[in-house]
Structure 1
Amino acid sequence: MKYLVLIYGDYRSADLAAVRALTKFKDELAVSGELVSSEGLAFPSEGRVVQVREGAKVVTDGPYGEAKEQLAGFFLVDVPDDERAQQVAGRVATIVGDRVELRPTVLST
């Protein structure tokens, strides 16, 4: 079963130790065969919203969210069951020192 672990954070207070720990955990998941993909995301100000309005593409530059915390990265894992997914998410939450969001994927291939 595939699960997405969504990591939120305040870009104004990046923690280098947490990034190193996440990288180490990413390597552990890769060795176990559970890692599908993991990436950190660029600052929200580098993002864009792409929409189609009346048949025309409209692109708007970021940033967008008013909240301090924005989506900062993710782990996509393929694990045997929900319990293991919760263990992975718990480890990520411990590393970042905050909650993370865990969601199963749908229509996985």
Structure 2
Amino acid sequence: MPKYMLIMRGTDESHAAMMASIDESMAATGRFIEEMIKAGVLLAAEGLDLPGRGVVVDFSGEAPVVTDGPYGETKELFGGYFMLDVASKQEAVEWAKRVPAVRGSKIEVRRVAGSDEVPEGNEHLVEERARRESSDQI
């Protein structure tokens, strides 16, 4: 089955609204996660730290430039994700519509490309598989 990532996107306003009712938000998210586990579709779910605690590595110039958060001129930030193993994009969208998100939030639904989509003889894929196999043996 294909994998889909539900990417939680929010604004400063939607983040503030969520934080104002954090206990309720966390309880609703916990119930939603339990539903996905019972349905057998949840592969992973994580929230991200506050944007002000992150950094941006910018490759616009000749050398990478590291800037501490918060990020300038960003209207939406990723807040976390759910990784699902579902039969179709439509099923992923149906789960996304059930995310207990606050007003002003968005959920981006993206299919995760599989390694089988890269041509079989691709040298980078061969190297990656070898690295994964050797790390599994450790």
TM-score range, shorter chain: 0.7 to 0.9
In structure 2, relative to structure 1, the CA distance for the partners of 1:65 and 1:73 (3 Å cut) is: farther
The answer as to whether partners of 1:49 and 1:60 remain within 8 angstroms in 2 is: yes
**Structure (1/2) with the larger helix percentage:** 2
Equivalent AA in structure 1 for residue 37 of structure 2: A
Match of 2:26?
Answer: 19
The answer as to whether partners of 1:46 and 1:61 remain within 8 angstroms in 2 is: yes
Farther-moved stretch of structure 1 (58-67 vs 82-91): 58-67
Measure how far apart 1:68 and its partner are: 4.9
- The equivalent position to 2:101 in structure 1, one of 80, 96, 101, is 96
Q: Deviations over 1:14-47 (max 9, x none)?
A: 2322222112111221222211111111110011
Larger radius of gyration: 2
Matched, 1:3 2:4: yes
How far apart, in 2, do the equivalents of 1:32 and 1:91 lie?
13
TM-score (norm 1): 0.79
Where structure 2 has 5 or more consecutive residues not aligned to the other structure, the ranges are 117-138
| Equivalent residue runs for 1:77-96 within 5 Å | 77-92=84-99, 95-96=100-101
How far apart, in 2, do the equivalents of 1:103 and 1:43 lie?
23
Farther-moved stretch of structure 1 (9-18 vs 35-44): 9-18
How far apart, in 2, do the equivalents of 1:7 and 1:105 lie?
15
TM-score (norm 2): 0.64
How far apart, in 1, do the equivalents of 2:30 and 2:58 lie?
33
The answer as to whether partners of 1:36 and 1:76 remain within 8 angstroms in 2 is: yes
**SS of equivalent residue, structure 1 residue 64:** coil
**Structure (1/2) with the larger strand percentage:** 1
**SS of equivalent residue, structure 2 residue 98:** helix
CA RMSD of aligned residues (A): 2.3
Match of 1:59?
Answer: 66
- The equivalent position to 1:39 in structure 2, one of 34, 41, 46, is 46
Measure how far apart 1:7 and its partner are: 1.1
* Identity %, equivalent residues: 38
The answer as to whether partners of 1:2 and 1:108 remain within 8 angstroms in 2 is: no
Task: Count residues with an aligned counterpart.
Answer: 106
